[in-house]
């Protein structure tokens, strides 16, 4: 009945994809969409698990959220630059049988 709403809290929140052109080459960063403050996307959000420092020689980057939009866009977005909430889906069933559902905070651990 709900989907995720990812709203930019700052200008320049980037939805990015990492592509591996060929094995052995460094991944390439591709910006899929740039959100202005207040702009939002609807879809499905997942907190990306971070690799503990003990297992990775690389410096840790910012926390990110993996996101898949209704329109088929996907990528990751820096968690500090967005606010994620749960909003009622805009579908007939919800409009008919569950009108007035509130927007609620997102708990990434659910």
Whether 60 shows a pLDDT value over 70: the answer reads no
Mean pLDDT of the chain: 87
Residue 11 lies in a domain: yes
Residue 83 lies in a domain: yes
Residue 16 lies in a domain: yes
What is the CA angle 28-9-38, rounded to 5? 100
pLDDT digits (tens, 9 = 90+) for 61-109: 678 899 998 888 899 999 999 999 999 999 999 999 999 999 999 988 7
Whether 53 shows a pLDDT value over 70: the answer reads no
Residue 110 lies in a domain: no
Q: Which domain holds residue 44?
A: 2-105
Residue 63 lies in a domain: yes
Q: Which residue has the higher pLDDT, 60 or 21?
A: 21
Q: What's the total number of domains in the chain? A: 1
Helices (H), 32-91: none
For 22-55, letters b (16+ CB in 10 Å) and e give eeeeeeeeeeebebeeeebbbbebeeeeeeeeee
Q: Name the pTM for this structure.
A: 0.82
Confidence of residue 16 (pLDDT cuts 50, 70, 90): very high
Residue 24 lies in a domain: yes
């Amino acid at each position: 009945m709900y989907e995720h709403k990812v709203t930019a809290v700052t200008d320049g929140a980037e939805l990015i994809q990492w592509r591996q052109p060929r094995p052995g080459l460094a991944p390439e960063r591709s910006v899929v969409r740039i959100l202005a403050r207040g702009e939002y996307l609807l879809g499905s959000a997942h907190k990306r698990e971070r690799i503990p420092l003990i297992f990775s020689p690389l410096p840790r980057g910012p926390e990110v959220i993996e996101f898949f939009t209704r329109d088929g866009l996907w990528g990751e977005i820096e968690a500090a630059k967005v606010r994620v909430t749960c909003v009622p889906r805009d579908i007939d069933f919800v409009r008919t049988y569950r009108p007035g559902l509130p927007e609620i905070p997102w708990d990434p651990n659910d």
